[in-house]
Structure 1
Amino acid sequence: MEPGVARVEVTEACGTLTFPAEVDLGNGEAIYEQAAALLDSGVPALIIDLSHCAFCDSSGLNVITRSQVRATARGVPMWVVLPTRGIVRRISEVAGLQRRVAIAPDVATAREALVPYR
């Protein structure tokens, strides 16, 4: 994966956007553009995977929030995978991310949660 950009995987069931190790002002907008492109392509669901992200400032939270708004407007279910502990988890909790988006502990759980939407 190119440093600073998200890894994108598209399957029949969903698109998965895996955040890089760090998300900040320098790459947040480019990652949002990747998420928007996935949603605009017609994926049936979106998973945003932060499980390997070691640092995520408000730019990363902005990517998630804007992606959720776009997904909701298109009727696309979206799940966010958060690390079980660490600074990314803590920042997400302080920002109240769990009140706005569906959270899963890992990608497999998020994919299972999408089954009813197919």
Structure 2
Amino acid sequence: MSVRAARVPEKAGTGVVVFPAEVDLSNADDVLSEALRLIREGATGIVLDLGGCAFCDSSGPNVIFRARARAAAADIPLVVVLPTRGIVRKICDIAGVTRDIDHATSLAAARDRLGRRP
């Protein structure tokens, strides 16, 4: 399993969790753990990057909603990077991710959204 998360610098900044190519029940907790670690380390914003994720079941949106709830409780903005089409986008559309959570189509756009927040 290859979940990557950028380390948050000492002066805090945006944390990025790059989802693996496939997210399901077998690895969803590991992905969520990385997001929660970034929140604990004091990230000023969180990006959940599903841009390279080719498949997810309902575990993907579950991770997103749970991370968003924890980030919101810590007053940390969160943006999700989603592909413009494909199964991952469709699952996130059906689950309400695109309706309820700020999202972008690239990491650069997500970082830009976080940079414009007060």
Corresponding residue number in structure 2 for 1:20: 20
Contact 1:5 1:31 in 2 (8 A): no
Please give the secondary structure, in 2, of the residue aligned with 1:25: coil
Alpha-carbon separation, structure 2, partners of 1:22 and 1:47: 18
Q: Which runs of 5+ in 2 are unaligned?
A: none
Q: Which runs of 5+ in 1 are unaligned?
A: none
Does residue 5 in structure 1 map to residue 14 in structure 2?
Answer: no
TM-score by length of 2: 0.92
Contact 2:46 2:79 in 1 (8 A): yes
Contact 2:93 2:99 in 1 (8 A): no
Alignment size in residue pairs: 115
- Offset at residue 31 of structure 1 (A): 1.0
Corresponding residue number in structure 2 for 1:65: 65
Alpha-carbon separation, structure 2, partners of 1:110 and 1:10: 17
- Offset at residue 78 of structure 1 (A): 0.3
- Provide the aligned C-alpha RMSD in A: 1.3
Provide runs of 4+ in structure 1 moved above 6 Å: none
Cα 1:10–1:117 shift into 2, 3 Å: farther
Corresponding residue number in structure 1 for 2:85: 85
TM-score by length of 1: 0.92
Corresponding residue number in structure 1 for 2:48: 48
Percent identity between the two aligned chains: 43
Please give the secondary structure, in 2, of the residue aligned with 1:26: coil
Alpha-carbon separation, structure 2, partners of 1:73 and 1:20: 26
